[in-house]
A and B are shown apart, each in its own frame.
Chain A
Amino acid sequence: AQSVTQLDSHVSVSEGTPVLLRCNYSSSYSPSLFWYVQHPNKGLQLLLKYTSAATLVKGINGFEAEFKKSETSFHLTKPSAHMSDAAEYFCVVTASGYALNFGKGTSLLVTP
């Protein structure tokens, strides 16, 4: 079964410093991987997705993620955090059929 593990439940960074949110995946075949973000009282918004094209995927708001098959990882990064980046981030893999299998989420706190 396809699954993801988000290695940190909480990450705290200072504004202007890099962001790294870690995700490892488990899949028996080449997966489709996504990062979604959820701001307080808002729905889930797609940040970026990987579907076996380029291994470095660029998303919205300056985020990017790199698919590393050898490490089974799909970490999310951003060079410089902004206060508005504070939110819950979910690493997601396509499970059976088209159902999405979510990680437990990483709460990103950005301090001034």
Chain B
Amino acid sequence: EPEVTQTPSHQVTQMGQEVILRCVPISNHLYFYWYRQILGQKVEFLVSFYNNEISEKSEIFDDQFSVERPDGSNFTLKIRSTKLEDSAMYFCASSAGGPDTQYFGPGTRLTVL
């Protein structure tokens, strides 16, 4: 069964450093998403991406964040200058169409020291 994959599973970085989280969505899906879950809090929407552009973003997704689909398979989330409060589990998801079921990857745990 096709699944969303994410790498790395755990990323540790120093405050102020740039990080890139990688995702490989399900191959025939057209919509891609990033969510995050700070420890002890609920899962929060960050951004959705369709047709090579951002279709929606939350207040969390400020100028420090960017997303890219650099090739036909990868979908990345970049945080330019990490802060302590960026420490969280980051989930990638994809769906065939906008209103269709979103399938989630296993997540990347980001720890900012």
A interface residue numbers (CB < 8 A to B): 32, 34, 36, 41-46, 49, 51, 90, 94-105
Contacts and interface: CB of A to CB of B under 8 A. Distances in A.
B32 to A, nearest CB: 11
Interface of B: 4, 31, 33, 35, 41-45, 48, 55-56, 58, 91, 93, 95, 98-99, 101-107
Contacts of A44: 43, 91, 93, 104
A43 B104 contact: yes
Contacts of A101: 45
Contacts of A45: 104
Interface of A is mostly: loop
A100 B42 contact: no
A100 B44 CA distance: 8
Contacts of A104: 41-42
Contact of A32 (B43, B45, B99): B99
A97 B55 contact: yes
Contacts of B98: 97-98
14 contacts: A43-B4, A43-B91, A43-B104, A43-B105, A44-B43, A46-B103, A51-B99, A95-B45, A98-B98, A99-B58, A100-B102, A101-B45, A103-B42, A104-B41
A44 to B, nearest CB: 4
A96 to B, nearest CB: 7
Contact of A99 (B48, B103, B104, B105): B48
